[in-house]
Structures are given as C-alpha cells and as structure tokens.
Structure 1
Amino acid sequence: MTNTGPADGETPDGLLGWCLVANVARETARGESGLDIQHGTKHFRAGALLWLPPVRWDPGHGRWPAVGRHRGNGRRYVNMIVRADDLENFRVKGVYSEALVRSLNGYEHDPAAPRTLQNPWSREQAQSWADGRNRHREPLFIEGHRYAHPRISVANPPAGRDPDRR
C-alpha cells in the first residue's frame, strides 16, 4: 500500500490522532441470497468516507461501529453500526477535526479536552487492520447451511488451484 503520509517520526501540524477509514461499497448485496443490489446503504451513500474507531464492544459478527456523514444530512457526523461487507478501500488517515473527535469518542468524550481521542488507534495497528481487510477473501459455504460460515474464508482464488479447471 502506498504511504501518502509524512515520513516516520514526523507529526503533521494539527494532527489529533490516527484512524482506520473505509469507503461504503459502490454496490451492496441485500435480500435473500444477496440478489438485491443497492448503491450504498440506508444511512450512507456509495463512496461515503467512514471513520472506524477501535472496537470497544462487540456489535455482532461482521459489524463495526462507524462515524460518517449521513445520507440525509451531509454536515453532521453520525455514529452507526455497519456491516463490514459493505465497506471497501480500507486505509489510515489522520484526524484533524474536533467535531470528528467528538463523534469518535461518543459517550466518553470529555468536554474539558475536546482535542483528545479517548481510544485512539496507533498508526501501525490501523495499517495492519487495513492491510488485512484489503486482502480479498471469499466466504466458505458449507453444504446444507443457508449462510456462509462466519469464521472461515478462503483466498480468492484459492492458492494452487487452476481457475479454468472445473
């Protein structure tokens, strides 16, 4: 992945912390068997930038808390739980906005320290998560089960397999 930020050891002026970010996928699958294709999600338009704070609690498998600008009001940040499958293009960005810090902190925000992230990512930790999520993996479907197995996935295409062979 290309490093577009400052060199190691340098801190940009006004940087309040680092955060994992992703875009809402251009097309999201909904409905039975994922046959209903939608553009974006109910709350975020396709391509919207979402800030993903470190997970403090488990919102359920394959779901993450996210902060972004809502489809209906592009001025204010909102906190939502989103499906990880609806996100793409994970990367690390610096946080410079006090309003964004307030939203990322949520209920733990301290008005006495408005520029302090309460649960920050380290740049290396966020980059590791981004690299892991950007490796495309396909869910494993088990015969007799309606949904993909949530904990098992395989590389796309599986290593050592000829894609032309059926």
Structure 2
Amino acid sequence: MSTESSGTPEPVWLVSANVVWWRRYGAGGQQLRSGTKSFRGGAKVYVSAVHWGPGADKITVIGRERHTGRWIVIDMATRNLHSFRPRFVHTPRVLERFHASTRRPAWDAEFAAGAATSLERVAREYRAEGWRGSEHPPRCLCHACLTGEPKA
C-alpha cells in the first residue's frame, strides 16, 4: 500500500453503487423491505471485491452500516445494488478498509468502468430471475417497478 507523506492511503479507482430502496422477499416475493439488513435503502457503497464465475451473485462492499453509521465490509447479493459507476475514491476510511479487506491491486479507470457495466447487467439479471413466475404485489415499490426495469 502506497501512502502520501501525511500517512493517508493513496486514492484508488473503485466501483460505487447504491442499495435498492425496496426489495421483494417472502413467499412469492409478495412482501417488501427497505434496503437490506446491513444498509439503508439508497445507501452508497463501494465494491471492494467481485466474486466472478458461477454464482457471481455476491460482492464484497464497503459502506456505512444501517444502525450505527460505522464503516463496515460485508459480502452481499449483487441484486440488492443498482447504479454501478466508477469512482476515484479519496475517503480515508474507505481506503483503509479496502486495503485491509483485499490484496488485489487497485483498478484503473478503464477497468473500473468495464466492471461497473458488467455488475449493472448481472444485478439486473439476478433481480429479474429472483421471483420469476410470481406476480408483483399491488402498488409494488421494488426496484424494477420504481425504475421501469424489465420484469420477469
């Protein structure tokens, strides 16, 4: 890990995303929950690691925890995130947790942009497959309904 003279980690390119405002759960996906157990709906998170390959439905993210506001590193389902985009991150707490949680080298801007595009596609596919064959509840607020995303 390279550091500047002040001792703060050097900024890196990461992929950032937001937690979905509402997600479906329960029998047939007929119930809705705001955000996830760890993050509020709309919370900004940074992707620390992507588990490519079969079952690429999990990624490691860094973000502020729902109840305490502390920075945490957690594996979560890709389908619960949206609006993936590359970001040049300067936040010291994010950089500390990034370097502590992974041994991979930092991405460059081009790779981060490609990863963001791929993750958005994968997340959309997993959201569409999640409740295939079941109707959305009345006045549904899930991400697909709010954004006009194609439904299963």
TM range (shorter): 0.5 to 0.7
Q: Which runs of 4+ in 1 moved over 6 A?
A: 140-143
* Coordinate RMSD, CA, aligned: 3.1
Offset, 1:51: 0.4
Unaligned runs of 5+ in 1: 1-13, 110-117, 144-154, 158-166
The within-5 A match list for 1:9-158 is 16-55=11-50, 61-74=56-69, 76-107=70-101, 119-135=105-121, 136-137=124-125, 138-139=128-129, 156=150
TM-score, normalised via structure 1 length:
0.62
Seq. identity, %:
24
Amino acid at match of 2:45: L
Q: Looking at both structures, which has the greater relative contact order when contacts are Cα pairs under 8 Å and sequence separation is at least 6?
A: 2
Amino acid at match of 1:82: M
Instruction: Quickly say closer, same or farther: Cα 1:65–1:140, change in 2 above 3 A.
Output: closer
Amino acid at match of 1:102: E
Amino acid at match of 1:86: N
Unaligned runs of 5+ in 2: 1-8, 134-148
Q: Please tell me whether Structure 1 or Structure 2 has the larger radius of gyration of its CA atoms.
A: 1
The Cα offsets for residues 7-48 of structure 1, whole Å up to 9 and x where unpaired, read as xxxxxxx96110001100011122232222101001100000
2:3 match: none
Q: How far apart, CA to CA, are the structure 2 residues paired with 1:142 and 1:45?
A: 25
The Cα offsets for residues 57-95 of structure 1, whole Å up to 9 and x where unpaired, read as 88x541111100001122x31011111110011101111
Instruction: Quickly say closer, same or farther: Cα 1:107–1:40, change in 2 above 3 A.
Output: closer
Amino acid at match of 1:71: R
Judge conservation of contact 2:51–2:58 (CA < 8 Å) in 1: no
Q: More helix by proportion, 1 or 2?
A: 2
Amino acid at match of 1:50: V
Amino acid at match of 2:39: F
